[in-house]
Amino acid sequence: MAIIITDECINCDACIVECPNNAIYEPDQEWAFSDETELSGMVTTLDGRQVDADASNEPISDEFYFIASDKCTECKGFHDEPQCAAVCPVDCCIPDENHVETEEYLLQKKAWLHAE
């Protein structure tokens, strides 16, 4: 499943550089599928949505750091554990029960993001 940042976040900025998929954004920052991935132009997500990878999407939080769940692979394929959770000083990076995904699916998502 994807990881979610809760409102316990203290906006310390420690997690953002750790994410191999650039799925973490600052409060009130627009996000795009193409940010630091191989995606560009119109693409089809693994769950069948047509999206413009270069389009700017609305910030998910204007108060705390947030994770674009479409880009979070729980670090599968890169690391043994979610790196944001590993470095977070207040343990506010937790499994997102609304985005439960299998390891196989997360690995497919990683390959999709990085065009492997």
Judged by the rule CB under 6 A, the positions of this chain that interact with ligand SF4 are 3, 5, 9-15, 18-21, 23-24, 65, 67, 72-75, 82-84, 87-88, 90, 92-93
Q: Which is nearer to ligand SF4, 12 or 55 (CB)?
A: 12
Neighbouring CB atoms inside 10 A of 62's CB total 10
Alpha helices in the chain (DSSP H): 83-87, 103-113
* Shortest Cβ 104–ligand SF4 spacing (Å): 16
Q: Which is nearer to ligand SF4, 43 or 66 (CB)?
A: 66
Rounded to 5°, angle at Cα 16 from 13 and 18: 120
